[in-house]
Amino acid sequence: MKRKTALLVTEDDLLVDMAYHNVPPSLLIEFSEKIVRPYYRGDLTTAIKDLLEKAISEQDIVLSHIKQQR
């Protein structure tokens, strides 16, 4: 009798490859020079993940504040 192993997958286990379209090279270069290189040791992937997480967090704060005002 074969034994089946349960596989648990979390959102952190799922990764997505991204492509950038219609982004000026000058913007990527400036982002790399001013943000990625000094603060993320050149790790563009980590910088973008951090940027996305912070944007979501800030949006949650704004929406929470708006709901409290109503």
Question: pLDDT > 70: what percent of the chain?
Answer: 81
In this prediction, residue 6 carries a pLDDT of 61
The residue-averaged pLDDT of 33-45 equals: 95
Domain ranges of the chain: 22-69
The pTM for the full model equals 0.67
Q: How many whole angstroms separate alpha carbon 41 and alpha carbon 35? A: 9
Q: Which amino acid is at 26?
A: S
Q: How many whole angstroms separate alpha carbon 40 and alpha carbon 53? A: 15
